[in-house]
Amino acid sequence: MTEFRRVLFLNQYYAPDLASSGQMLSDLVEGLVEIGHSATVVCSQPSYESSVPDASSKEIRAGLEIHRIRMSGTKGRDSLIIRAIGYLRFLLFAWMISRKLIREEKYDAVIALSNPPFIGIIGALIAKKASVPFVSVMYDIHPDIVQATNWVKLPGVFFYLWNSVSTWIVKSAIVVVVLGDGMKRTIVETKGSTHEKVKIIPVWARPEFMSEDCPSPDTRSKFGISSDEIVILFSGNIGIMQPVDEILHAALKTRDKKFRFMFLGGGVGSVKIREFARVNDLLNISVLPYQPFDDFKNILLESDICVVSLAEGMERLSVPSRAYTFMSAGKPIIAIMNSKSDVADLVTDWDCGWVVSEMHTLADLLSDLDNDRSSISRKALNARNAYTATLGKKASVDSFSELIFNVT
């Protein structure tokens, strides 16, 4: 009879928080509990957005305990100073609560994600104190991603010290989990790890669609889309790491064709898109804020093609996993990114979309598709097949379960 494990998870974000890492962790933990493991989660009260209400400070149900740390006055992402104070507050209380937990309960492993960046320090120290293995799950690689995006200006010595801490976290872990091969190479080359120590476990679609799922019949009329338009959807955060210039140029070049460019989400880039559409009097661009879940699903299912972009230099630091949601819905992908990125490789290997390059721009591609729409349907089927064959929540949960058994 299999003896399942008891695992302590550390991450600032957890459902019902809106942060993607929190939503993914919630799916993962509940999936592990469902197959028999026990889990305790130390996280914060919902704090990704400033206006969200608190959740229960402590939840206990079959196989799962959740301990939430109050974040009064430090919620939201508008102020860098407030975020930094929130990080420090969470780290302090996560240390205190975790120490108490390992005195009261016997755990088999400690798993820390990467929100905030230094939570791995707490995970490694708690694991050492409890004499159990430590696993680091790096959905973001710090400080590399901050340096690459120039998100914040800091002295070089600060980045040196930060990288030293990240390297220590990696070396303290028995296994490091990343999202793709590019991230694995970065960990090996910049954090002193071995290839054997770094394991790739992709995330999954949120939500996962069934092949028979269809949009509501009134979706097009509700969002002002004509019946003969080809809908090109960009959904998610629109920021430094998700460039949209190529898409805007294509919208301008194809303004007289039947393409509707829908941007669904938020971020600094949404203002730029609205201004571009206004200045150029483009009626083929729609910009919508994040939508209720049912509306998001209907818009995605109604779309014909989905666009995923990743800034140059990010291909070894990040995997735009929103592509997996699009593929689960059976949507072909236009990948605007380095051709050596993980998503671009997936698109090419499975022929489930197109990789845009300087030699063949998005505007060129759309002109081709306007004359040959049959390839959209063919690549859409390939996208769905690729997701079913290589990805999925069950596959990732099973991989984590196997990892937990292997390290304990």
Residues 6+ apart with CB under 8 A from 399: 199, 201
Short-list 123, 126, 146, CA closest to 136: 123
Answer with the residue of higher pLDDT: 245 or 371.
245
What tens digit of pLDDT does each residue of 337-350 get? Answer: 999 999 999 999 99
Contact (Cβ atoms closer than 8 angstroms) between residue 202 and residue 396? yes
Residues paired with 335 in a beta bridge = 308, 355
Angle at 100 between CA 96 and CA 103, to 5 degrees: 145
Residue 182, strand partner residues = none
Distance of CA 393 to the CA centre of its chain: 13
Same domain, 26 and 85: yes
| Section 193-214 average pLDDT | 94
Do residues 122 and 223 both lie within one domain?
A: no
Residues 170 and 228 in one domain: no
Alpha helix ranges (H) inside 207-341: 219-222, 245-253, 269-279, 293-302, 322-328
CATH of the domain at 312: 3.40.50.2000
In 62-143, the DSSP E strands lie at: 64-69, 109-112, 134-137
Task: Please give the pLDDT value at position 400.
Answer: 98
Mark whether 168 and 224 lie in a shared domain: no
Same domain, 377 and 401: no
* Judgement on whether residues 235 and 112 belong to the same structural domain of the protein: no
Question: pLDDT by residue (tens digit) across 276-326?
Answer: 999 999 999 999 988 888 999 999 999 999 999 999 889 999 999 999 999
Q: Which tokens is 254 given? A: 């194809």
pLDDT tens-place string over residues 77-106: 777 788 889 999 999 999 999 999 999 999
Expressed as residue numbers, the domain containing 320 is 219-390
Q: Does 149 share its domain with 174? A: yes
